Chain A
Amino acid sequence: MASWEHVFTDLAENRGRALLRYAYLLTGDAAEAADLVQEALLRAFGRTTRGLTLESAEAYVRRAILTVHIDGRRRSGRWTRVRHLLAAREDVSGPESVVVDGADLRSALATLSPRQRACVVLHYYEDLSVAQVAEVLGCGPGAVKRYLSDARSRLEPLLSDSREGLR
């Protein structure tokens, strides 16, 4: 077995769940998240990978996930087809508040642009600073702040029970 296969297997077995969760938050769709992770793994390991470690491979795959996600041209068709399904979940009801919250949040996230959504996931879920998000996305900190501000204005109503909800 080539060394890239060891890293590949290690990454898939030990970090596969985390990568899928990351992709799922970016896409909001389970099947699309799986596609995204597989595409990113293919891109990362399809190149020559001399000296690739588990850590560097995961960083590479995460970046590829983000790149593919934001590549609107490639995914716009599929997104258009499923968007109404994600955004029109007003009929969700039930006693489990987590389910309701999840549906609301999923719907709200679905209204964000890919970059806005990426900023939310990177900043609030991956705990990256604004400067780090800017570096990952290849834009300036000011743009990230603007994306986050716009996203917050859409998400804030969901979290109105706590002024600290978006902190």
Chain B
Amino acid sequence: MTLRTRLDDLAAGAPDPGVLDLERLRGRITRRRRGRLAAAGGAALLTVAAVGTAAATLLPNGDTPVTPPVATRTPVQHAYDFGSCGMPVRGQGPAPAAPLALVVDLADGAVDATAEDTIGTVTITNTSDASVHGTTGYGPEVFVADSDGTVVTEPGPEAAIGYPLTLAPGQSTTYRITAPLHRCSSRRPGSPAGFLAAGEYQLYVRWDLYREDSHLWLYSGPIEVEVR
């Protein structure tokens, strides 16, 4: 009996396809795609504004073939004021034009709040045709809001505060977003050990850079995430 035959026999013990929860999986995929589109859409808008051209090739259109650029189809990325823990997230209108784009890429649309691991990345890209130099602020700051739009986590200590940063045109820098996601509010007393309770949340990312003559802010969100 060859190893191939024995592996065939062993593979017969694999679970039946019925174990795949396709409906739940379809929902998670939909949420994840929506989050990616929202995040990348905001970045594309900044690109359009900064470069001054309708760079629609950057627009994620899902399964639809790219059509001639229409900048107005891009979701507008708003600026937010996150206040403090337990306060509602307040929209500040469209984010100002910037020579940098911020893209959030979550490894999974569902996050284990207690995992001591990277749950995604934040990438800052210079989308202008000139070098950008400055000193990083607090970011990337990750805020999580519950279904009511109330801030339930606050950014933890960041290692990337106050670092000089220079990005040449097209150059990027990437930061990691890490769990655990600690609950900062007592609104959900059922959640153990201070971690976020399982459920649907909205994730926001803010990043800032002090330039010689200005203070630049970038935002992304809301991105729907499922906390397990």
- Interface residues of A toward B: which range? 35 or more
The residue on A at minimum CB distance from B22 is A12
Bitwise interface map of A from 124 to 145 toward B, beta carbon under 8 Å scored 1, else 0: 1101000000000000000000
The answer to whether B63 touches A2, judged by C-beta atoms less than 8 angstroms apart, is yes
The answer to whether B14 touches A20, judged by C-beta atoms less than 8 angstroms apart, is yes
* Interface residue ranges of A75-126 to B (CB < 8 Å): 98, 101-102, 105-106, 109, 120-121, 124-125
CB distance from B129 to the nearest CB of A (A): 26
B26 contacts which chain A residues (CB < 8 A)? Answer: 5, 8
B25 within 8 A of A: yes
A4 within 8 A of B: yes
The residue on A at minimum CB distance from B32 is A46
CB distance from A112 to the nearest CB of B (A): 13
The residue on A at minimum CB distance from B107 is A43
A3 within 8 A of B: yes
Bitwise interface map of A from 143 to 167 toward B, beta carbon under 8 Å scored 1, else 0: 0000000000001001101101111
CB distance from B154 to the nearest CB of A (A): 27
Contact residue among A24, A30, A161 (Cβ-Cβ distance under 8 Å from B1): A161
- Dominant secondary structure of chain A at its interface with chain B: helix
The answer to whether A2 touches B32, judged by C-beta atoms less than 8 angstroms apart, is no
Contact residue among A2, A16, A105, A155 (Cβ-Cβ distance under 8 Å from B20): A16
B173 within 8 A of A: no
CB distance from B194 to the nearest CB of A (A): 21
The answer to whether B13 touches A102, judged by C-beta atoms less than 8 angstroms apart, is yes
**CB within 8 Å of A: which residues of B?**
1-4, 6-17, 19-22, 25-26, 28-29, 32-33, 36-37, 60-65, 108-109, 117
Pairs across A and B, CB under 8 Å, 16 listed: A4-B62, A13-B17, A17-B14, A25-B7, A38-B25, A41-B25, A45-B33, A46-B32, A46-B108, A48-B61, A50-B63, A50-B65, A52-B63, A124-B7, A127-B4, A166-B2
